[in-house]
Amino acid sequence: MRTLAEHRAAALALGAPLPTEEVGLDDALGRVLAQDVRTADALPRWANSAMDGYAVHQADLVGASAEHPVTLWVVADLPAGTSADPRIDRGTAARIMTGAPVPSGADAIVPVEHTDGGTISVTVRVEPAPGAHVRGAGEDAAAGDLVVPAGTLLGPAHVSACASVGQARLVVHRRPRVAVVSTGDELVAPGEPLARGQLPDSNSWLLAAAVREAGADAVRIGPVGDDPADLRALLDALDAGTYPQAGPVDAIITSGGVSVGAYDVVKAALLDEPDVAFVPVAVQPGKPQGLGRLVHGTPVFALPGNPVSSFVSFELFVRPALRRLQGATEVERPTVVATVDDAWRTPPGRTQIMPVRVVAPADDLGLDTAVDPATNPRPTVRRATPGGSGSHLVARLALADGLAVVPVDVTAVERGDLLTVLRLR
């Protein structure tokens, strides 16, 4: 039996970064940067005003106050975006807007609320500090500074930073295209009438949504029946890039048919595939797993069919590999150590992954604090459903805020225990 760590390592090994492509800023959000973005020039490129007000010589205003105001002649009006650079001599000032370049000779900005005046003269009622409200050239970044490193998952702030340095196009890793195949004669499309023994196909929708949430494109196929020859033909076509409804794909995820039953269709279809292994993994739920590459090199992740098992298996094994395909340097979910407000037994010899919900969030989850951080700085969690990690309990899976990891050597979780939780939201 493989350990959880061994199977995770095998899954990650299937995730070599995909080739790169160039995209415009409008298409960059959610992509992984493949080349560093650096500044070509200092930022800001010139000293500019941080306030609406007046550009002045600070020495003209030493001692200025409400009781002893100082009046200066206004010799220029500088809106944001102007290219004008009038010389500001002693005894004069320029009206200036936020973002406008500071004119030559001026060395401080007086905010408009500290003045009385207009476009001809201005009376100043405060003494500004030297350099007050002046954003210095190069204050944000020097020429050649690293702005966004390769491997970064691009969010709105990263896109803005790239735009600020004049980078209109970015080199990113190609987004993976992933086929999701659910198997089982008992499955029917959601909303269709159910005969005795039939179930709605929830797995293909679950896994396709999880693929998209992980930053990849999903092609949902299924449900597919329990005929090994038909399934093998489908997988071979996906591997070769000839399946009409999918085209070329970078990975395949199947759900169901990987255990030791008489109708385990995925295992039967791929049993003679030399680079695909079906192995038990010391984890609960999700013990039966399949993993490897098909003949044309397409990675295949064969997950168990019970919905919670499929979801947990995706989070543990598939999501990190998909993030690596995208070129991400950080492939894991963020984690937090939480206090357990619950108690349950755990399976011997297996790492347990328990869906949990937050019942007393703390600051480190970024939620409203429901307990005193001085006495209980950690979030408090309970099982998302009284049924715990039962692999069939999909209806309550939506309540889970995270997945608690119970180490393999723990036989029971007690109230007050500390567990590492993978944050799902």
Query: What are 117-159's pLDDT values in tens digits?
Result: 777 999 999 999 999 999 998 888 888 899 999 999 999 999 9
Q: Do 107 and 166 sit in the same domain of this protein? A: no
Q: Do 239 and 108 sit in the same domain of this protein? A: no
CATH code of the domain containing 266? 3.40.980.10
Kindly report, residue by residue over 377-414, the tens digit of the pLDDT: 689 999 988 765 554 456 667 889 999 999 999 999 99
Contact 247, 62 (CB under 8 A): no
Element (DSSP H or E) covering residue 5: helix 4-12
CA distance 251 to 177: 7
Q: Do 34 and 80 sit in the same domain of this protein? A: no
pLDDT at 360 over 90: no
CATH code of the domain containing 404? 2.40.340.10
Nearest Cα neighbor of 13 from 304, 251, 238 is 251
CATH code of the domain containing 152? 3.90.105.10
Q: DSSP code of 332? A: S
The position carrying tokens 């357990």 is: 340
Lowest mean pLDDT among 57-61, 352-356, 398-402, 404-408: 398-402
Tally the domains of the chain. Answer: 4
pLDDT at 366 over 50: no
pLDDT value at residue 231: 94
Element (DSSP H or E) covering residue 183: strand 177-183
Q: Do 318 and 372 sit in the same domain of this protein? A: no
Looking at 256, 291, 325, the residue that finishes a domain is 325
Within a domain: 330: no
Enclosing domain of residue 375? 335-423
Within a domain: 230: yes
CA distance 58 to 64: 10
pLDDT value at residue 395: 61
Residue 58 structure tokens: 């600070």
Q: Do 285 and 187 sit in the same domain of this protein? A: yes
CATH code of the domain containing 78? 2.170.190.11
Q: Do 195 and 270 sit in the same domain of this protein? A: yes
**Residues of the chain above pLDDT 90, percent:** 75
Within a domain: 356: yes
Looking at 173, 194, 219, the residue that finishes a domain is 173
Structure confidence at residue 367 as a pLDDT band (50, 70, 90) = very low
Nearest Cα neighbor of 64 from 2, 4, 123 is 123
pLDDT value at residue 245: 85
Within a domain: 67: yes
pLDDT value at residue 364: 45
Q: Do 103 and 190 sit in the same domain of this protein? A: no
pLDDT value at residue 199: 82
Q: Which residues contact 292 (CB under 8 A, 6 or more apart)?
A: 14, 273, 275, 276, 277, 299, 300
Q: Do 85 and 53 sit in the same domain of this protein? A: yes
Q: Do 184 and 227 sit in the same domain of this protein? A: yes
The position carrying tokens 């039996």 is: 1
Angle at 125 between CA 119 and CA 126, to 5 degrees: 115
Hey, CA dihedral for 292, 294, 300, 303, is it positive or negative? negative
Looking at 289, 307, 325, the residue that finishes a domain is 325
pLDDT value at residue 370: 42
Q: Do 124 and 161 sit in the same domain of this protein? A: no
pTM: 0.80
Q: Do 37 and 60 sit in the same domain of this protein? A: no
Within a domain: 155: yes
pLDDT value at residue 363: 46
The position carrying tokens 């098909």 is: 294
Q: Do 64 and 169 sit in the same domain of this protein? A: no
What is the chain's mean pLDDT, rounded? 90
Peptide linkage before 128 cis (omega within 30 of 0): no
